[in-house]
Amino acid sequence: MLYINILKCYLCRLKFATKKMEIVLKEKIKEAVKIVYNSDVTDDLIQIQETRKDFKGDFTLVVFPLLRFSKNTPEKTGETIGNYLMDNFPVVSGFNVIKGFLNLEISDAWWVEFFGIMASEKTHFENCLVLKPETILVEYSSPNTNKPLHLGHIRNNLLGYSLYRILSACGHKVIKTNIVNDRGIHICKSMLAWQKFGNGETPQSSGMKGDHLVGKYYVLFDKEYKLQVERLVSQGMEENEAKNSAPLMTEARDMLLKWEADDNKVVDLWKMMNSWVYSGFDVTYKKLGVDFDKIYYESETYKIGKDIVLSALKDNILYKNDDTSIWADLTAEGLDQKLLLRSDGTAVYMTQDLGTAVNRFNEYHFDKNIYVVGNEQNYHFQVLKAILKKMGYSWSDGLIHFSYGMVELPEGRMKSREGTIVDADDLIKEMQETAKDVSLELGKLSDFSAEEKEDIFRKIGLGALKYYILKVDPRKNMTFNPVESIDFNGNTGPFIQYTYTRIKSVFRKAEQLGIQTGMKDFTGVKAGPKEIDLIKLLRKFSETVSVAAIGYSPAILANYCYELSREYNQFYHDFPILGEDDPALRNFRLLLSKLTSEVIYSGMWLLGIEMPERM
């Protein structure tokens, strides 16, 4: 009899260990209700959640929904079900009922065994894989070529790149794309200012990064233009008219027309200045650690957009105004009229986005096309989708605007006029320097070469910056506080990196002492509550990745990494690892540490954050 029980117990562990405990419990509880109350329950009535820390137990059944079957008090019902599980499901080692909550205790041995299975999985992403992988385009960055990247772009790039890694980890085929806004009146402004005031200055001659040089002339245009407007207003002209007829503005508009007419001189200037900007962007992208599989240029897609608009006009999907401008009427969709081609025939932003979307679909036949674009463009994407739908492109349902919030400074929005734009290159540099200062003060890296040290400072500085931005829910506007962002304690990237390096350090020490690591023999180990807490948290990794993918939220993953690091540090503080005399327990703790470091590494990797081996 005893033998049979042990065998039964063993079988049920083996069978259930690889499944999710919640699912198994659900089945067992269904069975309990069937047998004890002679009723069939639907899945949604059985709510299992992890037991809150303040109570004893591992999983909790909310019994309120089951009262209709038991026709009894919550306490009695919980007790009945608890007793049934105790008798029929050996993994349950105890239970208690508080109010309407049945707290189930899972045997420590089960957790240890489950941990063994987790530790032998090849990758930690195995359980994240989706059944039906999709082809997903992720568009991010989308810079203008008239000024350098700033803090807002950093959030955009980090979100886009992390989204790429998270979706890929779930088995999707993800293509990273970037659309460069390389045409339009704003580009002409920089070009015109350079032509007029530049005296042939180049990145080489000035020693300036190309994107910064071009940005300088964009600002200069604005300055000179404002002076002209002021002058006209003081001569008695009305402000709006002055803005329209200021010589610099009319010249810029002329230039755009010439550009669209392929005027050689203008196109050559445009090519030269854009190439400056691109080489500048490349440097910044590289520093940020982001890249792209395919780069689109508006200058190449706006004509496709024009063709699409003209053909839709022929099909009477669009209409022509008296002044020959072309519009979409979206009032039936609850939106407004939208201009698609100006009366002079030139394209607008929407025109080229239509072109890009169609172009992309023809190229990739994507299931989803995710636009990582700020929430200031919510309306734009609503309109884009509506127009494509109207034009009969059924795949427009797969267009997703991943709308993220603005980055504000403590004193409000960044404004170029007030010079409060936080430049991407400057910020990266500052973060690295701060990392350097902190590291040197702590003085733990004295045996490293200068080059190795710089690499560590870079990882820490960027880790701090990336984590600071990614830990916030992408949909929300966030405040960037320059003082707080360089804090390396608490809920920060460096804290997580530090936890990782601590574990690495344990293994280095083990090697020095000749202690074998990676031993999976820990039979009979009695794990403590802290260790089981860690196992529970590690177990949640794959689920967290899935949730982050479905919700398009790297923040969920970032917060998970933090929680795991905190949990591990508590464990690390209270329990010896290498100092543990019992070899089985030492093996167990070593493996627990190893798995933790791997999960932290994987989680941070999905965020695009590099981990130093020492710090």
Site residues (CB under 7 A) for RNA, limited to 73-102: 98-101
Site membership for RNA, residue 610 (CB under 7 A): no
Site for RNA in 40-59 (CB under 7 A): 47, 49-52, 54-55, 57
Rounded to 10 degrees, the C-alpha dihedral 390/391/392/393 comes to -110
| 504 part of the interface to RNA, by CB under 7 A | yes
CA 474 – CA 159 distance, rounded (Å):
8
Q: Which stretch binds RNA (CB under 7 A): 212-220, 344-352, 362-370, 419-427?
A: 344-352
Number of H helices, E strands in the chain: 23, 15
Instruction: Tell me if 280 contacts RNA by CB under 7 A.
Output: no
Q: Which is nearer to RNA, 438 or 600 (CB)?
A: 438
Binding segment (CB under 7 A) for RNA, from list 84-92, 110-118, 262-270, 479-487? 479-487
Which residues between 360 and 419 bind RNA (CB under 7 A)?
Answer: 375-380, 382, 405-406, 410, 413
Pick the closest to residue 248 from 230, 219, 265, 224 (CA basis): 224
- Whole-number Å distance between alpha carbons of 578 and 589: 9
Closer to RNA by Cβ: residue 460 or 527:
460
| Binding piece for RNA, criterion CB under 7 A, among 205-213, 288-296, 531-539, 565-573 | 565-573
Q: In this structure, are residues 251 and 192 in contact, taking their beta carbons and an 8 Å threshold? A: yes
What part of residues 131-170 is at the interface with RNA (CB under 7 A)?
Answer: 144
The whole-angstrom separation of Cα 613 and Cα 615 is: 7
Nearer to RNA, 422 or 478 (CB): 478
| d(C-alpha 392, C-alpha 321), whole Å | 22
Considering only 121, 566, 584, 605, the residue that binds RNA (CB under 7 A) is 566
What's the min distance (Å) between Cβ of 443 and RNA? 9
Is the CB of residue 158 less than 8 Å from the CB of residue 407?
Answer: no
Q: Does 476 bind RNA (CB under 7 A)?
A: yes
Which residue among 103, 141, 177, 369 contacts RNA (CB under 7 A)?
Answer: 103
Q: By CB under 7 A, which span of 225-233, 307-315, 360-368, 503-511 interacts with RNA?
A: 503-511
Q: Is 487 in the site for RNA (CB under 7 A)?
A: yes
Shortest distance, CB of residue 582 to RNA, whole angstroms? 14
Q: Give the one residue of 16, 572, 588, 601 binding RNA; rule: CB under 7 A.
A: 572
In Å, how far are 17, 20, 52, 578, 600 from 589, measured between CA atoms?
Answer: 20, 23, 24, 9, 16
Nearer to RNA, 113 or 388 (CB): 388
| Residue of 354, 556, 561, 592 interacting with RNA (CB under 7 A) | 556
Q: Which amino acid is at 558?
A: A
Give, as ranges, the residues between 420 and 439 that touch RNA (CB under 7 A): 435, 438-439
* Beta strands 173-180; 294-297: pairing state: parallel
Is residue 473 at the binding interface for RNA, with CB under 7 A as the rule?
A: yes
Amino acid at 336: D
249 three-state secondary structure = helix
Which of 246, 506, 549, 564 is close enough to bind RNA by CB under 7 A?
A: 506
Q: Report the residue from 30, 303, 444, 539 that binds RNA according to the rule CB under 7 A.
A: 444
Of 575, 584, 594, 605, the one binding RNA by CB under 7 A:
575
Among 475, 519, 533, 584, binds RNA (CB under 7 A): 475
Among 39, 343, 416, 516, binds RNA (CB under 7 A): 343
Q: How far apart are CA 119 and CA 599, in angstroms?
A: 10
**113 versus 225: smaller Cβ distance to RNA:** 225
Q: Around Cβ 111, how many Cβ atoms within 10 Å?
A: 21
Candidates 190, 492, 587, 596: give the one binding RNA (CB under 7 A).
Answer: 492
Q: Per CB under 7 A, which of residues 200..239 are in contact with RNA? A: none
Site for RNA in 171-200 (CB under 7 A): 181, 183-186
Torsion of CA 129, 133, 135, 137, to 10 degrees: -30
Element of type H or E holding 339: strand 337-341
Place of tokens 């019992």: 582
CA distances from 77 to 84, 92, 272, 564 (A): 11, 17, 77, 35
Quick note: the x/- pattern for RNA over 56-75, rule CB under 7 A, is -x--x-x-xx----------
Q: State the DSSP string of 406-432.
A: PEEETTEE--TTTT---BHHHHHHHHH
For 371, other C-beta atoms within 10 Å of its C-beta total 24
Number of residues that bind RNA (CB under 7 A): 97
Quickly list DSSP for 512-532.
Answer: HHT--------TT----HHHH
Judge contact between 495 and 467, C-beta under 8 A: no
Q: How far apart are CA 561 and CA 537, in angstroms?
A: 10
- Touching RNA, residues 514-543 (CB under 7 A): 543
Closer residue to RNA, CB minimum distance, 385 or 504: 504
